[in-house]
Amino acid sequence: VLSDYNQALHPPPGVNSAFWVPPVHNILSPVNPETVRLLFQGWLRLHEMVITQLCSGLPLCLTSKQWRSLLEVAGWRYSEPDMPMTTGKCHSDMRQLLNWHCYSSATPESEDFSLQPVSWNSKPLVLHKEIPLHIDCEVIWEILELSFWNDLVMLDSMLDNSSMNLAE
């Protein structure tokens, strides 16, 4: 099954090939600049939630395809009807995941997450305009840095042969 970018080959036993932050190619690879802009907006809506999850010790661990669907749902497809296809099912699953993580009210689907304002460094961004290049670079840097640090922490934990607990 080649539909999953990072799942073309099954990983070796004990290897989790999912990602804690979206792979940058998910945001930068679309040919249509409008799609890239909307994926950036999706990340800008999600990044605080993802960072909170990373710090809590319960990070999202999604495949490349799931991250792409989550960015689409957060960016512009939140209220689109589900199509009776694999993509529609994935969008539905990501919408439920987003609701579960973002809302604690009794009616979690009462607000369209993709309509929430977008900001970067506490400065609101205009949604219908292109995101300034320096912000694009900062966003990509943030994702790459988070990915690097998470990989480093995982590698350290895998190579740690000591019997010390985490508090020590």
Q: Which of 45-54, 114-123, 140-149, 158-167 has the lowest mean pLDDT?
A: 158-167
- Listed ranges 10-19, 90-99, 137-146; the one with the highest mean pLDDT: 137-146
Look at residue 168 and tell me if it is in a domain: no
Look at residue 118 and tell me if it is in a domain: yes
Predicted confidence (pLDDT) at residue 15 exceeds the cutoff of 80: no
Mean pLDDT taken over the chain: 75
Looking at residue 65, its amino acid is: K
Look at residue 153 and tell me if it is in a domain: no
Model confidence pLDDT, tens digit, residues 103-133: 543 334 446 666 777 888 888 887 777 788 8
| Domain count for the chain | 1
Look at residue 101 and tell me if it is in a domain: yes
CB 41 within 8 A of CB 13: no
Look at residue 156 and tell me if it is in a domain: no
Predicted confidence (pLDDT) at residue 165 exceeds the cutoff of 70: no
49-76 burial by CB neighbour count: b if 16+ within 10 A, else e?
A: ebeebbeeeebbebbbbbbbbbbbbbbb
Look at residue 159 and tell me if it is in a domain: no
Look at residue 154 and tell me if it is in a domain: no
pLDDT the model gives residue 82: 56
Residue 42: give the domain boundaries. 18-146
- Give the chain's count of helices (H) and strands (E): 5, 2
- Higher-confidence residue of 168 and 100: namely 100
Q: Which of 52-56, 89-93, 162-166 has the lowest mean pLDDT?
A: 162-166
Predicted confidence (pLDDT) at residue 168 exceeds the cutoff of 60: no
- Higher-confidence residue of 55 and 4: namely 55
Mean pLDDT of 41-65: 82
Look at residue 99 and tell me if it is in a domain: yes
Predicted confidence (pLDDT) at residue 86 exceeds the cutoff of 60: no
DSSP state letter for 80: S
pLDDT the model gives residue 66: 85
The torsion angle over the Cα atoms of residues 100, 105, 110 and 113, rounded to 10 degrees, is: -50
Model confidence pLDDT, tens digit, residues 143-153: 999 989 888 88
Measured distance CA(44)–CA(74) in Å, rounded: 9
